[in-house]
Structure 1
């Protein structure tokens, strides 16, 4: 688990696909059994490492990225009560689960984008948009909004993993606050512009 953000009453955690697999957690099993155990572990770690008290009403906004993992956004409603409880039984959890079928990878350097584009050259014609390229907070982001065939998505994410990391950030944030370098056909354009 990667704790990405912590503020008073707000927590963001990214759980990798490997961790979900180890705990045998899927979207449909998140609210029961092993899914609940994983969320309990998440809250225990948040309390011991970040002082996040799991009391009162907690809103869980869970976004599943089928090829990458899940992003858990936890918000505590209202102020922290004067008396805190040790037991998780005192917590009311409201959960919203969303499954996102898109691919968004963070690449640190332009050279990584160029190399990844050349790696994707043989497969890009199997995508609808050819990719969108954003620049946000000093990083590049390659984004495929469409839902690809499973074998294509697996190939694309495997290649992108060699040059970057999956990003749990929202593409809406990229388009709103970042710079759109190429709205579509980003990979073919990068290949044509930077031929070795």
Structure 2
């Protein structure tokens, strides 16, 4: 598990596909049995290593990426007084689960986009759109809106994982509020324009 804490009542955790397989957790089993055990372990690690207190009402926003793993965004509702931090028996959990079938990766630098594109170019004919490229909130996003064949998607996400991370953001938000650099055939255009 990779932990990122943004502020006192907000925690973000990425759980890899391998970790989900080890714990035998799938979207439909997240709220029961082994899924609950995984979330409990996540909260215990967040408490001991990052000072995130599991008290009050916790909102879990879980995004599953079939070929990558899952992103868990945990938000504590309201500000809890310090004396309640000892009372772990009073925790209410609300959970929202989303399964993402498109491929959307965040890349920090344009150089990462170039490198990823050169890795993807030989597989791009197996996609419908050839990829779109957005710039949003200081980062680049490569987006494939179509649902690809499983083997193709696994290959694409493996290459993309070397240069970026899967993003739970909506491409509609990026298209509306960000900058659309290329709406289609982004990979071919980048590889013919820039050398790695």
Runs (5+) with no aligned partner, structure 2:
none
Scaled by the length of structure 2, what TM-score is found?
A: 0.85
Scaled by the length of structure 1, what TM-score is found?
A: 0.85
The C-alpha deviation readout for 1:80-119, integer Å capped at 9, x for no partner, is 1454265644211111111011222333443432333233
1:166 and 1:148 mapped to 2: Cα distance? 19
- C-alpha contact (below 8 Å) 1:134/1:181 kept by paired residues: yes
Residue in 1 aligned with 2:166? 167
Aligned residue pairs total 195
Moved more, 150-159 or 164-173: 164-173
Residue in 2 aligned with 1:17? 17
The C-alpha deviation readout for 1:39-69, integer Å capped at 9, x for no partner, is 1111112222232211122111111111111
Matched, 1:67 2:67: yes
Runs (5+) with no aligned partner, structure 1:
none
Residue in 1 aligned with 2:181? 181
- C-alpha contact (below 8 Å) 1:103/1:144 kept by paired residues: yes
Helix, strand or coil at the partner of 1:84: helix
Helix, strand or coil at the partner of 1:64: strand
User: Aligned in 2, Cα 1:177/1:167: closer, same or farther, shift over 3 Å?
Assistant: farther
Matched, 1:120 2:120: yes
User: Aligned in 2, Cα 1:49/1:128: closer, same or farther, shift over 3 Å?
Assistant: same
Helix, strand or coil at the partner of 1:147: coil
Could you list the runs of 4 or more consecutive aligned residues of structure 1 that deviate by over 6 angstroms after TM superposition? none
